[in-house]
Structure 1
Amino acid sequence: MTRFHEAEVTPGQGLAYAVATLGGIGRLRPAPGSWGSAVVLPAVLLGPHACLGLAGLVTAAGFWATRRMLGDDTTADPSWVVVDEGAGQLLALAALPAGSGFYGVLLAFLLFRAFDITKPGPVGWADRQHGARGVMLDDLIAGALAAALVLLARAILPEGLL
């Protein structure tokens, strides 16, 4: 299979497609990546350990789904694949305490999206990797960088602000 298109979903790929699109979120326009990031934001209510665990599960499912959907097309990173955004955003949310307020969630969301869109340094390197590794890894690194900055902000800003 080369240059996979969304219209080419075969009956055996239904589950992989559902995972890759986070249940169809990847079909929303505009900015499917932002929708994929936003859909996991309520997970912050579960606390940092749950967000980290969910990030691991979504990452594993994302590697499986993208490999299954993209096959041997190692250059594809279709916009409708948003499981990578979900996994990266969950990593960023793991830096927040349980029940974080609006500003903490907003900061984690904006930092993650900024790193994912601009692809600085290691995020850009990961984005240039091929296959499922490239699809997933850039968002995981963007999420880790966002988490690091959220933790730094929590250390600097007055307690309870984030």
Structure 2
Amino acid sequence: MSTSVKPKQTPIPRVSAKWLAHPVHFFSLGFGSGLAPKAPGTFGTLAAVPLAIALHLLLAPWAYVAVAAVAGMVGIWLCRVTADALKVHDHPAIVWDEVAGYLLALSFLPLNWVTVVGAFALFRFFDIVKPGPIGWCDRRLEGGLGIMADDLLAGVASALVLHLGYFLANTLL
């Protein structure tokens, strides 16, 4: 009878508030929300809510989507730089992917409590469950793109579900 021994896992380094002094890490750590000891992804998404509301109030819909897309593209670099500095591919404290994904979730939608809360709930669902191509990206892609892609797809999936809901509500009611 043989017993299997699990290989030792490298402990995930703790990230302190001193990392926020560096502008790249400040953004990739979600303005500090990624430092939450529990559920940093949820706190990263929460940090995105006031940003999304402000952008919705200040920008035209196309400009909002452009800013969200730029946040995703720049996030590939931001997250790679911080992951390299931490020496951990997708450290839990890196939550810019949640920020950019949530921004995409509200694309071309009216700003109201249904969309803000609905986008939050749907985005967290898709980000945690990772169905289909979202999970594929999470498992297969590496570097900054590997950190960002699954959350960007989760944001797009959330937006599509919300748009479908609005379409059905306007068609049936």
Question: What TM bracket, shorter-length normalisation?
Answer: 0.7 to 0.9
Aligned to 2:157: 145
Q: Taking structure 1 as reference, are residues 32 and 15 closer, same or farther at Cα in structure 2, changes over 3 Å only?
A: same
Question: How far does residue 30 in structure 1 lie from its aligned partner after superposition?
Answer: 2.4
Superimposed CA distance per residue, residues 31-90 of structure 1 (whole angstroms, 9 cap, x where no aligned partner) = 111111122223243353343122122213311111212239897211100000011101
Identity of aligned residues (%): 36
Q: How many residues align?
A: 156
Q: TM-score under structure 2 normalisation?
A: 0.77
Q: Taking structure 1 as reference, are residues 83 and 107 closer, same or farther at Cα in structure 2, changes over 3 Å only?
A: same
Match of 2:97 among 84, 93, 103: 84
Aligned to 2:117: 106
User: Which of structures 1 and 2 has the bigger CA Rg?
Assistant: 2
Contact 2:102/2:120 (8 A) holds in 1: yes
Q: CA RMSD in A?
A: 2.9
Q: What letter is aligned with 1:83?
A: W
Question: How far does residue 91 in structure 1 lie from its aligned partner after superposition?
Answer: 0.5
Q: Which has the higher contact order (CA 8 A, sep 6+)?
A: 1
Verify: 1:154 aligned to 2:161, yes or no. no
Aligned to 1:126: 137
Q: What letter is aligned with 2:65?
A: L
Match of 2:78 among 65, 79, 94: 65
Question: How far does residue 3 in structure 1 lie from its aligned partner after superposition?
Answer: 8.4
Q: Taking structure 1 as reference, are residues 41 and 10 closer, same or farther at Cα in structure 2, changes over 3 Å only?
A: closer
More helix as a share of residues: 2
Contact 2:42/2:124 (8 A) holds in 1: yes
Structure 1: gaps (5+ residues) = none
Contact 2:83/2:91 (8 A) holds in 1: no
